[in-house]
Structure 1
Amino acid sequence: MTRLLIVDDSPLMRRLLGGIFAAEGDFEIETARNGTEALDKLTAFSPDVVTLDIHMPGMDGLACLDRIMVERPCPVVMVSSLTAEGAAETLEALSLGAVAFVEKPSGPVSIEIERIAADLVATVRAAATARLSRTHRLSERLRKRGERFIAPLARISAPAGRIRRKPHQPSRKGIVLVGSSTGGPPALDALLAPLPADFPWPIVVAQHMPATFTKALAARLDRLCALSVVEVSAPVLLDAGTVYVGRGDADLILVSRPTGVMAMAAPADAAYHWHPSVDRLVSSAMAVAEPESLIGVLMTGMGADGAEAMTRLYGAGGQTIAEAEDSAVVWGMPGALVKAGGAGFVVSLRRIAARLIDLVLTA
């Protein structure tokens, strides 16, 4: 049985969410009305996973999440509204340590909840098995327990840092294709933040998210990175030193034009379950560029999106990197690539940027 703690100030939401998971038959469920009550139940109930509303009276979801990650880290799925404010708060929650988020129904709750039920259950199941970083906010956890935070632990928990060496211009022009899902925003931070502003290839990202969230994600990454980061909402010519984030609720494809290769948002193809689809992105890239000029990076996420297309890319002579199991929050997508024999390299998250630069330098 999976122990699930549902935290929401709405009695109706607690009842509806509890009913969805009770119907699955393999969840043991507790509920909490606010952040303070949730913290009390962390010890008494010891949940395997928590769903956490953001907006609650008293201690809100972000404050509660902050306490959970320091006092008793466990997988947390945020319940978020699809608004600009909700997007910013959700990205903040993901940076604090939340594993994933689910859409909070905006219409008649009892009707809308059924629409998202299947994805909600799948997300919570994946989160319950998620791998939390042992070093995330380690110093705060040690201080909370009254332990001394010694230098060796500080070195372990420190981020990889910005890569200082300047890449020369590779002999071949190319494109980096990145796919990620559950756990993806912090993974994108770790991949992109170390790269120098003059990174010589454009980077195109398919991150499974709604449209409101991808716009906020691109803006956040642009603030964090030396590279320029933009959301693809209209056709745009690919340029070196720029990261192109696919707009949510659509697919991101590459097309060839006389002026060069362009990225554009295309209506979501029902043949693909997740959007923006990594498989569709990689397939479109292979249609406009030689495989040897493409590098695929598949990072944390549930399911197998990207594995089939990147396996074809690898077989055709392209380079592929799969995030290693020891760092992936959910080793579904990169694990599927490895199991299919399509991963040229299997690399822990904090080393992917360095591996990427090595591959570009030798292209």
Structure 2
Amino acid sequence: MIRLLVVDDSALVRRVLGDLFREAGDFEVALARDGVEALEALKTFAPDVITLDIQMPRLDGLSCLDQIMVERPTPVVILSSLTAEGASETVEALALGAVDVMAKPARALSLESDAFAPGLVETVRNAAGARLRRTHRLTERIRRLSMPARSASAGRGKSRPTKPAYVPSALAEPSEAEGLVLVGCSTGGPPALDALLEPLPADFPWPIVVAQHMPRAFTGALARRLDGLCALDVVEVVGPTPLRAGCVYIGRGDADVIVTRRGRELLALAAPADAAYRWHPSVDRLVESARAVLAAERIAAVLMTGMGSDGAASLAQLRADGGWTCAEAEETAVVWGMPGELVRAGGASVVAPLDALAHTLRAAVAPR
């Protein structure tokens, strides 16, 4: 049995969630109405996984999560509202160590539970098996507590290299140096993106396009947070967006991000989610779209932590055709599903731990 702690200040939400997890048959459920009760249950109930609301009295979800990750690191799934404030706080919760997020239904949970329940149960069941590294989470906490204030724009106060304004050069022929980096991740992905992108310099030579499995409400906040941490410019792809060096493009949640060519210019597009792919934004679809407009040897692809197999098949084919691929190593991945499938398929040019990914990527795209 999976020991689940449900933390929410709404008695109705606690009852509905408790009932649907008990009905799933493989959960033992305890309930807490705020962060104070959650920390007590952490000791007395010893949960395998926690669902956590953000807005709560006495001790809010972010403060509670912060203490959980120090006192007894436990997989946490955030259940968040769809407001702008809720999105920013949720992205910060992921950076603090939560492994996944689900958006609460727009209508009352009791009215939407039949549609909401299957995805929630699968997400929480998968999260229960996530691997948390105590030392990494503690380092994250100390770094964040040293900042003047907790906010979604954490990191914006640090000095960042000055970046030149972008002037499109649609009339120029594609150069020999034209290339593209593709990144895929899911469960545990936001902190992994921090580790990959923050060390990269502002003059990184290739554009980077990211498919992070995440609901639509949260990818904009994720892009804004990463933009504050990185020397690179980071934006969410919401429409046709020219790709340029020194920039990172985050695929919009609940849609797919694809690469196309308009004349001599590469663009990223937000495309409606394709039902042929299970996860969104789809890593497989992103890689396949890039392959249609760019030679394999001009593509570098990185597959990081995440449940399932999205990206494994397309990256394996990319490597077979002459592209460069990298899988996050098992010892650092919160969930070694996606990168593990790539390694088992023989599709990884390199397998590297999280703290070596940025260096490994820079070496792969360096001019030869």
Query: Taking structure 1 as the reference length, what is the TM-score of the superposition?
Result: 0.89
Distance 1:171 1:105 in 2: 48
Please give the per-residue CA displacement for 1:101-127, whole angstroms capped at 9, x wherever unaligned: 122122032121222212211211221
Give the 5 Å matches for 1:169-208: 172-208=177-213
Distance 2:17 2:239 in 1: 37
Of 311, 317, 321, the residue aligned with 1:316 is: 321
C-alpha contact (below 8 Å) 1:71/1:141 kept by paired residues:
no
Please give the per-residue CA displacement for 1:103-156, whole angstroms capped at 9, x wherever unaligned: 2122032121222212211211221111112213437999xxxxxxxxxxxxxx
Aligned match of 2:13:
13
Is 2:107 aligned against 1:107?
A: yes
- Per the TM alignment, residue 181 of structure 1 is displaced from its structure 2 partner at its CA by 0.9
Aligned match of 1:325:
330
Is 2:283 aligned against 1:271?
A: no
C-alpha contact (below 8 Å) 2:101/2:214 kept by paired residues:
no
- Per the TM alignment, residue 76 of structure 1 is displaced from its structure 2 partner at its CA by 1.1
Aligned match of 1:354:
359
C-alpha contact (below 8 Å) 1:231/1:246 kept by paired residues:
yes
Distance 2:181 2:30 in 1: 44
Is 2:276 aligned against 1:304?
A: no
Consecutive unaligned residues of structure 1, counting only runs of 5 or more, are 143-161, 165-169
Please give the per-residue CA displacement for 1:223-242, whole angstroms capped at 9, x wherever unaligned: 11001111111112111111
C-alpha contact (below 8 Å) 1:8/1:52 kept by paired residues:
yes
Aligned match of 1:88:
88
Q: Residue 287 of structure 2 aligns to which amino acid in structure 1?
A: V
Q: Residue 3 of structure 1 aligns to which amino acid in structure 2?
A: R
Distance 1:312 1:111 in 2: 44
Please give the per-residue CA displacement for 1:183-222, whole angstroms capped at 9, x wherever unaligned: 1111111000000000000001111112221111111111
Q: Secondary structure at the match of 2:335?
A: coil
Distance 1:139 1:253 in 2: 35
Q: Secondary structure at the match of 1:229?
A: strand
Distance 2:304 2:62 in 1: 25
Consecutive unaligned residues of structure 2, counting only runs of 5 or more, are 143-158, 162-174
Q: Residue 285 of structure 1 aligns to which amino acid in structure 2?
A: A
* Matched pairs, number: 338
Question: Quick one: structure 1 residues 85 and 141, their matched pair in 2 at CA, closer, same or farther if it must change by over 3 Å?
Answer: closer
- Per the TM alignment, residue 31 of structure 1 is displaced from its structure 2 partner at its CA by 0.8
Distance 1:247 1:102 in 2: 15
Distance 2:114 2:345 in 1: 34
| Sequence identity percentage | 63
Q: Which moved further from structure 2: 60-69 or 314-323?
A: 60-69
- Per the TM alignment, residue 28 of structure 1 is displaced from its structure 2 partner at its CA by 1.2
Give the 5 Å matches for 1:153-172: 172=177
Aligned match of 2:150:
none
Question: Quick one: structure 1 residues 241 and 109, their matched pair in 2 at CA, closer, same or farther if it must change by over 3 Å?
Answer: same
Aligned match of 1:67:
67
Distance 2:139 2:9 in 1: 31
Of 217, 224, 230, the residue aligned with 2:229 is: 224
Distance 2:114 2:266 in 1: 41
Aligned match of 1:41:
41
Q: Secondary structure at the match of 1:136?
A: helix
Distance 2:302 2:326 in 1: 5
Question: Quick one: structure 1 residues 100 and 237, their matched pair in 2 at CA, closer, same or farther if it must change by over 3 Å?
Answer: same
Aligned match of 1:159:
none
